[in-house]
């Protein structure tokens, strides 16, 4: 395969991946496209002639996938140079490293044909190649989910949102179980395509053909078992033991032209409309939920006794809190006593208008909310030149669990992942294990100006409900504001980029510890073991081959010496 065709395959793979996840054309993506997205990449890497070429091809695929699926990061104003530009380049180099590992699977298993010429001898180890490819791709997406630079967008598992049965395996394996299955399916089909031209040369008992059939059966078995488990889980919902009457507000403000007073006024109006709707149904509002950016006029708690006693002018925020007789959860800057750095916080106000507690966002946006060495003079000077300012957020110090009482007198414990924290399985797992019965996410994605950004964030976060068999409320500046049940299905929502409110009753399920809640990403243990085992076996094989070569050379040398003596 020539270089131009390999590049075409990689571009094609990136386009399919982009279409598989939520995008401007397919609102919630396509699981079918997710199953075939890596086929062109597999073929392109298989036909590479060196580790370097395979690295560049994989880097290009990740680079293009990121640009095509997360193009809206370019709308992040002054930070676009970091959020889109720097991240796209990082994916290229990241892909180069992983591309070398992907190529190693083929390089070491095609022992008799290192130049990759098409012949029967090319296909000696389909089982190892297919499982190796799927395992390494799963490791790659695990890296995307983990650590300070984590960014779960553009991942294969996102394409499974509409596959209501299969995605239920997340309560056991987490989202990486979906990634592994999709990558495995692509690898099986791709290997079959590569085998097809020479299938007539195989004998019925050929080890390569048997290996491929075994792998295909293994793949289909996993899918069947996964779907059967999903059907069972989908039908069997946990018992609803409590209910929460909520009013969620979507004020739809412009984050680049903040108008704190207007945003609060709009939120007050929409809250009162929502409370009236619940009262008309004979229900009392248990909590009002505003979004991440609504309280922007000053830092809490000082601002509550100063700025918010005056603003908004029509009715001050403090006056409204004291008279609304309903707990309020809202986002805004806050700080601990003695700490002069602001945290991006979810703040709970009690019925009397006082601050009950707040949770400071712990996973800050890299290079936007948190910049390495931002306190050093050289970095501050650079930020001042590039962006015009040097300040940022400080991460929260600990997890916080809030408690409120519903109209029936039942206590409900909830946690509040802020902004894109609901996208990270490890962080939400820790929040859940504090004793949380429900996730309430407040976020501001309105700066993206695109529907695909809103729906991508929602889809990524929706898997948290399946992982822990719990409910999630998402109250956003411009959307996608929803209530999601324990199966990851939407049970109430609002249109994106519209001002409004949602008054609804939210089910609270009997709290249970799923396998994922207990053990997290345990699936990575067998994945890593397989990859390590593969490289150990191949290393031992190389030592064996080198020893055989040395013995052959020694025998040849001895034969030459004997010939010379005979002469």
Burial of 532-555, coded b for 16+ CB within 10 Å and e otherwise, reads: eebeeebeeeeeeeeeeeeeeeee
**Cα distances (Å, whole numbers) of residue 112 to 35, 106, 121, 203, 207:** 31, 12, 6, 18, 15
Pairing mode, strands 287-289 and 328-334? parallel
Is 122 known to be catalytic? no
- Give the C-alpha separation, 94 to 54, whole Å: 13
Q: For residue 296, report the phi and psi dihedrals to the nearest 5 degrees.
A: -115, 5
Q: Is 489 helix (H, G, I), strand (E, B) or coil?
A: coil
Is 361 known to be catalytic? yes
361 Cβ partners below 8 Å, 6+ apart? 343, 344, 345, 346, 369, 393, 395, 396, 418, 419, 421
Within 10 angstroms of residue 31's Cβ, the number of other Cβ atoms is 20
The answer to whether 70 touches 154, Cβ cutoff 8 Å, is yes
Point out the catalytic residue in the list 141, 292, 421, 454: 292
Structure tokens at 100: 């070398």
Point out the catalytic residue in the list 419, 428, 476, 486: 419
The answer to whether 442 touches 288, Cβ cutoff 8 Å, is no
Q: What single string gives the DSSP state of each residue in 445-476?
A: -GGG--HHHHHHHHHHHHHHHHHHT-EEEEEE
- Give the C-alpha separation, 110 to 40, whole Å: 19
The answer to whether 179 touches 141, Cβ cutoff 8 Å, is yes
The answer to whether 343 touches 361, Cβ cutoff 8 Å, is yes
The answer to whether 180 touches 138, Cβ cutoff 8 Å, is yes
Q: Is 185 helix (H, G, I), strand (E, B) or coil?
A: helix
Give the residue among 333, 340, 553, 535 at the shortest CA–CA distance from 444.
333
91 Cβ partners below 8 Å, 6+ apart? 59, 62, 63, 65, 66
Give the residue among 370, 302, 447 at the shortest CA–CA distance from 149.
370
The answer to whether 493 touches 483, Cβ cutoff 8 Å, is yes
Catalytic machinery residues: 292, 361, 419
């Amino acid at each position: 395969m020539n270089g131009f065709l390999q590049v075409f395959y990689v571009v094609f793979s990136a386009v399919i991946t982009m279409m598989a996840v939520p995008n401007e054309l397919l609102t919630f993506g396509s699981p079918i496209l997710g199953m075939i997205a890596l086929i062109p990449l597999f073929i392109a890497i298989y036909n590479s002639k060196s580790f370097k070429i395979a690295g560049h091809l994989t880097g290009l695929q990740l680079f293009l996938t990121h640009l095509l699926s997360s193009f809206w990061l370019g709308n992040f104003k002054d930070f676009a140079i970091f959020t889109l530009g720097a991240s796209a380049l990082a994916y290229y180099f990241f892909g180069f490293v992983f591309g070398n590992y992907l190529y190693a699977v083929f390089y070491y298993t095609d022992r008799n044909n290192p130049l990759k010429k098409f012949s029967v001898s090319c296909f000696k180890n389909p089982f190892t190649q297919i499982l190796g490819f799927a395992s390494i791709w799963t490791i790659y997406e695990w890296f995307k989910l983990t650590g300070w630079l984590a960014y779960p967008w553009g991942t294969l598992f996102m394409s499974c949102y509409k596959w209501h049965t299969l995605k239920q395996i997340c309560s056991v394996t987490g989202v990486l179980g979906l990634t592994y299955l999709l990558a495995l399916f692509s690898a099986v089909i791709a290997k079959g395509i590569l085998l097809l031209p020479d299938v007539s040369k195989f004998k019925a008992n050929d080890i390569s053909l048997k290996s491929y059939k075994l792998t295909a059966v293994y793949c289909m078995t996993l899918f069947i078992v996964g779907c059967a488990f999903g059907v069972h889980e989908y039908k069997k919902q946990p018992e609803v033991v409590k209910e929460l009457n909520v009013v969620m507000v979507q004020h739809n403000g412009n984050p680049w032209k903040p108008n704190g007073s207007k945003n609060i006024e709009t939120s007050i109006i929409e809250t009162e409309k929502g409370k009236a709707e619940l009262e008309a149904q004979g229900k009392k509002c248990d909590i009002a939920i505003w979004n991440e950016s609504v309280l922007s006029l000053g830092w809490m708690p000082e601002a509550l006794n100063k700025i918010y006693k005056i603003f908004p002018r029509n009715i001050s925020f403090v006056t409204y809190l004291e008279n609304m007789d309903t707990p309020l959860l809202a986002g805004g800057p806050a700080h601990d006593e003695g700490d002069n750095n602001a945290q991006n916080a979810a703040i709970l106000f009690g019925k009397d208008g006082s601050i009950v507690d707040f949770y400071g966002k712990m996973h800050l946006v890299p290079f936007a909310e948190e910049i390495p060495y931002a306190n050093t003079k050289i970095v501050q000077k650079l930020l001042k030149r590039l962006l015009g300012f040097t300040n940022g957020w400080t991460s929260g110090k600990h997890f916080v669990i809030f408690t409120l009482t519903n109209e029936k007198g039942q206590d409900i414990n909830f946690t509040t992942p802020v902004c894109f924290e609901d996208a990270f399985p490890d962080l939400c797992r820790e929040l859940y294990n504090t004793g949380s019965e429900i996730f309430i996410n407040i976020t501001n994605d309105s700066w993206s100006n695109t529907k695909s950004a809103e729906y991508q964030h929602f889809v990524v976060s929706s898997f948290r409900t399946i992982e822990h068999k719990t409910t999630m409320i998402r109250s956003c500046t411009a959307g996608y504001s929803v209530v999601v049940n324990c199966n990851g299905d939407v049970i109430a929502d609002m249109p994106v980029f519209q001002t409004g409110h949602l008054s609804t009753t939210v089910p609270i399920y009997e709290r249970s510890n799923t396998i994922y809640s207990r053990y997290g990403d345990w699936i990575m243990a067998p994945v890593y073991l397989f990859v390590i085992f593969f490289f150990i076996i191949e290393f031992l094989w190389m030592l064996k081959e080198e020893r055989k070569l040395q013995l052959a050379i020694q025998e040849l040398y001895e034969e030459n010496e004997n010939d010379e003596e005979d002469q």
